[in-house]
Structure 1
């Protein structure tokens, strides 16, 4: 893995994501989005005047270009824009839809995710709530069980059309049935044993990822990553066919997972590449790649096979992966925005 190109922006980068065509959307703390066609560092389209920092960008993928689009979290609102536009610069007035999702002016949005079937948008907020918007009706459902602190991450569970997992600064992972708004399971993370008398940060959950086979990964502010395999679908050792989906997803069972000590400081991003590779990134830009497998007894294991470090980032705010690129974004030592585009197969 090595850096293929570097993109500089006037303001700190707060969110990045790839479109269905492989273009890169970059959101900044001044409420502006820019679109790039990698590896060229030239802006090809922009959306501005959304009012607040761009906290998250989610892409609605569709075979019909007119039906696809992107959802943007800015402040307490989520905006929907078409994937393609004749305008080089759009504003909030060009949004297809604007939805107020924060419960008050202080309840800013954090992460947005779109379901596999393209029917729902999940969101998380500073007030600790996770919820879902149904696209066809614009109906908003909030989960009955909230986090006691900031809810920073929310993901749909693949092959589970009615389930999602949220995570927060209360060090909890919550597994919800969102049509019912009910809690199916939870995992409360405790602090790691003290090492060498050093006091570590609390185990706030800073990011999550869920693989296509149901593996879940969660990174914490005290430098750890937990990988849970309780809900994983694995090929049968005899036929090679996938296991039949179980009635219940048990991805938050601690005894079905393992802990990785990745760093001494916060791990701000975890992303799966396929089902056998996990990439982690720390707040200060240290990258690591792990190969995930099972031993002869079927126990989960993760072996590091590469480490690296960003060249110019002083603080990492967001990471996005789309083969063959990994984008690591945030700000440089002068406080300006910067994105490093890494080639995964180098």
Structure 2
């Protein structure tokens, strides 16, 4: 027995050295006893045909942690000679009974064999518990009594997997799907089937069961269902199902599951090639007692925090008001593979276009998941919604462990609505990047998915729009420092050169300047060179007069995510990548001057992550350089901002770091137009945007001291450059020498001067002066950028 503290990830079921694997999760929360029941299949190998038994772990939920009991085999949940699969639990709040439905499949008979032959060898079974999972009844086989002769029309069928639900009327709902035999050949050996989702239901607290009519079109398989109260007071049963159409299928029933209307494709909820199971769960919409702004519904705050939760009071419903149901959905977010598990939200579930997100909660191979909803009560009586997710992850989607994670509350930020301005009408797709020119008019540009590019006025009105690519997203935009009207926009492996004074078409196209998709652009101060960072890990330098690549710098072992030229040094640039490396380059040479691993900072940290805890390795996402040219800030996946300082001859002098975000830090940009050049704006996957004053940081203080004494130190620097490295180090000031070793030790003391609970994953942060006021332009997963005012700092 062990304790896993809320809300950190807990590994509940782990693949064993013998090859025994645990797959197909199911999770329910029982409010009456404040406990979780987590179920899954125990398989002899990862193959479906090698499923064996069902296992369970019970977790008692205390104020701030969950204490998990040891895993136990559900010995009664089986039929002799059959394998148990697809756990589907449902809790009857009226009687306190837990029903665990599952299917039993004869021996090692595969699903494909049943589909080809039409020989159905699957049974519908359940066990029940009246003591919250401590003991279980003997197995009940419902197949003949419930399905009857209809079983002859099904090649095979299954339930869930994952949790069932109970309606307000008391009806118990078990989601299910069946492969209907559409036709057989004359020999009866092969058949054509179509898959359809439906539900089993009981109005007698499990004594008598029925099944409803299935979705007719499009085809659908594994599914989950949610009871949804709509804003007009009408209740519907919402079904979200897996498909092989490249996206999810949804359908609604107005008679509690007896009949489902034709399904709809939900294009925002992508599926990998063969689909994957996903989970949905509903919860009452949170309402502030404060007056709601016009952006209230659109700006739901749903923040996943893997290490900390701060409960926010004020989520109360107005008196005598029945709040509508909002729906949360988890599923792999990649359309090419089962990976990067994300959370989506719908405020209007009937609308297939209402889904927002995703917010990634696990990066890497991940597959099936199941959600549970928990209401935590604050001391003032307000409710803090919390979601638990049990999901598969592993080196491959079929080599899975099962983890459980609690994600933080859903919160609406009234402060955000007061402090930000939303720019609308410029894009129809999520905004990925933003930029501002250095000219007096400060032209603002944003790029988005689907090749969209928009120029904005300072009032937030779109001035010009252009579709620069039909196939690729606009991943980065950069203005020329020497010609402020010249704009560079990357899409795919190419860069469009545009004149903002006439945005009808590109001035020229720099085709295939990237070896793979381009992630970042940077133009040097003279405006003659363009640096391109791409997925191949290379940095390519383009001569803008010759319009061709003149240097290819290869040193990153993974995606090169960011590159920038250093101010005052037009031949020097710094790059960072997902190989956790920062490299400094001098263009006459093709080898980096030095390489720094961000993992070194974790090794020097007083509390480094252990190997088994590397949930957030320091993958570098963004790097920027202060106007002095010698201080670098790198935003990384470990949530930290890594600081580096170089000497006048570009040698690495000092390094430091501070924790900026509880999830990955995606953006870090120095601001040149405030009181000093060491203000830093950051954004993260936790939905926070923060402003930091680094002027008192030991690393930055040494740079400021060096600059303030530059004239006096000039002679010393010249003398020192003729000596050895040892002599140079001895001539460093006492404060400098001390800070080189202490900069990492002081991490955690840096606190933001200002922070905004933006709520959605931050794609880009762009410092800008708008209408004479210092501001931050923020792009997220929505199609509308936000502007935060820094006026008054």
Task: Give the alignment's TM-score, normalised by structure 1.
Answer: 0.83
1:321 has 2:761 as partner: no
Report what 1:26 is aligned to: 446
| 1:314 partner SS | coil
Secondary structure (helix, strand or coil) at the match of 1:202 reads coil
1:54-65 paired onto structure 2 within 5 Å = 54-62=474-482
Q: Is the 8 A contact 1:141 1:178 kept in 2?
A: no
Change (3 A) 1:35 1:202: same
Q: What residue in structure 1 maps to residue 421 of structure 2?
A: 5
Contact 1:18 1:24 in 2 (8 A): yes
- Once the two structures are superposed, residues 286-326 of structure 1 have per-residue CA deviations (whole angstroms, 9 ceiling, x without a partner) of 12222223279244688424242344x52211111123121
Which structure would you say has the larger RCO, counting Cα contacts within 8 Å and 6 or more residues apart?
1
Match of 1:218 among 610, 629, 634: 634
Query: Does 2:647 match 1:249?
Result: no
Correspondent of 1:117 among 516, 526, 538: 526
Q: Deviations over 1:321-342 (max 9, x none)?
A: 12312111012xxxx3121101
Q: In the alignment, is the contact (CA less than 8 A) between 1:148 and 1:170 conserved in 2? A: yes
Bigger shift: 134-143 or 319-328?
134-143
- C-alpha separation between the residues in 1 aligned to 2:641 and 2:752? 16
Query: Are the counterparts in 2 of residues 141 and 181 from structure 1 also a CA contact under 8 Å?
Result: no
Give the alignment partner of residue 263 of structure 1, picking from 634, 658, 661. 661
Task: Report deviation, 1:184.
Answer: 0.9
Larger radius of gyration: 2
Q: Distance in 2 between matches of 1:75 and 1:226?
A: 29
Distance 2:590 2:495 in 1: 21
Question: 3-state DSSP class of the match of 1:30?
Answer: helix
Alpha carbons 2:641, 2:659 under 8 Å: kept: yes
Q: How far, CA to CA, are the matches of 2:756 and 2:775 in structure 1?
A: 16
In structure 1, the partner of 2:787 is 341
Partner residue, 1:47:
466
Q: Which aligned pairs between 1:1-346 and structure 2 lie closer than 5 A?
A: 3-8=419-424, 9-20=427-438, 21-38=441-458, 40-51=459-470, 52-62=472-482, 68-85=485-502, 90-91=504-505, 94-103=506-515, 107-190=516-599, 192=602, 193-194=608-609, 199-214=614-629, 215-231=631-647, 246=648, 248-250=649-651, 252-253=652-653, 256-274=654-672, 275-292=677-694, 293=696, 294=701, 297-298=735-736, 299=739, 303-311=750-758, 313-323=759-769, 324-331=774-781, 336-346=782-792
- Which runs of 5 or more structure 2 residues have no equivalent in the other structure? 1-415, 603-607, 703-733
TM-score by length of structure 2 reads 0.37
CA shift, 1:97, in A, is 3.3
CA distance in 1, matches of 2:493, 2:659: 34
C-alpha deviation, 1:198, in angstroms: 5.1
Greater shift, 285-294 or 298-307, is seen at 298-307
Question: Partners in 1 of 2:479 and 2:757 — Cα distance?
Answer: 26
Count of paired positions: 310
1:134, distance to aligned residue in structure 2 (A): 0.9
Output the aligned Cα RMSD.
Answer: 2.3
- CA distance, structure 1, for counterparts of residue 450 and residue 686 of structure 2: 22
Q: What SS class does the counterpart of residue 297 from structure 1 fall into?
A: helix
- 8 Å CA contact 1:289–1:304 kept in 2: the answer is no
Structure 1: unaligned runs, 5 residues or longer: 232-245
In 1, distance between residues paired with 2:643 and 2:457? 33
- Which of 122-131 and 7-16 deviates more? 7-16
Residue deviations 1:171-222 (CA, integer Å, cap 9, x gap): 0011112233222111011173128x85431210011110111210001101
Contact 1:15–1:57 (CA under 8 A) maintained in structure 2: yes
Check conservation: 1:3, 1:340, Cα contact below 8 A: no
